Amino acid sequence: MESSGVTRRTALKYAGLILLAARGGRDLPAYAAGAPARGYGSDPDLRTRPVNWARTLSTPELALLAALCDIVIPAAPPHPSGGMLKVHEFLDEWLSAPYPQMQSDRFIILEGLAKLDEAALGEFGRPFAQMDLPGQAAVFDRLCNFKDSSAFARRLIELICDGYYPTREGHAAIAYVGNVPLERFPGASADIVRHLEQQIQALPGIPQMASSMSQVPEAN
């Protein structure tokens, strides 16, 4: 997934602005969450955002997801990796939720994890969990290019970006300032105003007029 001059983090920064994990063996759990879970209900408390369902991924799955979060979004000091930011815990909450979208994602991700493990066993003769991080990254990168597993890889990357970039650390990684108060509003530069006036004057049916936008005083 790396290309010359473009790091994985840079690619995800612009693709994810937008806006896996596996057991050591093949005994993956059932794709659907076990016991029925209760959702937020019709009147959730948006101040506390309680999670009313149990998180259902196993400890080995979470450990693997942490490693795979590092593969998708590696550390680029001073910015942490996906695993360091505990995005795998967000994935546990998401994939355990009782809603149709989350249950659909659960099926896609867990089915993809089984294929990831099979690929590791077929190519290296050992489970994905027993490989080092570079080997895991190589297996995952190749899996991204296979037609039958590309949907899994794409959705996993989307979910990891969804968990990473809305955080304060994610904002810093993409230099997103957000909604912050300004002491003063400088307005547009003279070049921008001049260009805008030229474009307006060029529109059909717009009468020629003396420049006026550049005379607008700066707002406080």
pLDDT band of 25, cuts 50, 70, 90: very low
Rounded to the nearest 10°, the torsion over CA 19, 21, 26, 30 is: -60
Residue percentage of the chain with pLDDT more than 90: 25
List, for residues 33-52, the tens digit of each pLDDT value.
444 566 766 666 767 767 77
Q: What is the pLDDT of residue 113?
A: 82
Q: What is the pLDDT of residue 203?
A: 80
Tokens 């070049």 — which residue?
191
Angstrom CA distances, 213 to 106, 185, 196, 205, stand at: 54, 16, 9, 19
Helix 150-164 to helix 100-124 angle, to the nearest 10 degrees?
120
**Average pLDDT of the segment spanning 47-62:** 80
List, for residues 200-213, the tens digit of each pLDDT value.
888 876 666 554 54
Comparing 9-23, 78-92, 110-124, 153-167, the range with the smallest average pLDDT is 9-23
Residue 4 pLDDT > 70: no
SS3 content of the chain, % helix, strand, coil (to 5): 50, 0, 50
List, for residues 119-164, the tens digit of each pLDDT value.
888 888 888 888 888 899 998 988 888 877 888 889 999 999 999 9
